[in-house]
Amino acid sequence: MFVTISYDIVDNRRRAKVAKVLLDYGHRVQKSVFECDLDDGRFLKLKGKLESLIDWEEDSVRYYFLCARCRGNVEVSGWGVVREEEEVIIA
């Protein structure tokens, strides 16, 4: 599944930890927005890690799921590129 994840984290340390976790799962496309191509298990693991880091009273993490057809309709104005799925070949 293709997931766009955005966050609004009040504390600088928590924000840095959230970003570090997200870098292990996807690509940063804006300062607080990541795009991730994950299976169900990896998504649940990522979500659990993020939920353990945030302050539930102050912070927010949003998950936007895009179907394959919708993902093909992503457009960028300004800097940045639309990332294609990386092809993995196992020999």
**Rounded CA separation 34/7 (Å):** 9
* Number of Cα atoms under 13 Å in the Cβ half of residue 22: 27
29-66 in b/e form (b: 16+ CB < 10 A) is: beebbbbbebeeebbeebeeebeebbeeeebebeeeee
Position 74 confidence tier, pLDDT thresholds 50, 70, 90: confident
Give the chain's domains with CATH numbers: 2-71 (3.30.70.240)
C-beta of residue 4 within 8 angstroms of C-beta of residue 34? yes
Higher per-residue pLDDT: 14 or 74 = 14
Both tokens assigned to 85: 């799925």
Task: Tell me the per-residue pLDDT of 13-44, one tens digit each, with 9 for 90 and over.
Answer: 999 999 999 999 999 999 999 999 999 999 99
pLDDT of residue 8: 97
Higher per-residue pLDDT: 75 or 36 = 36
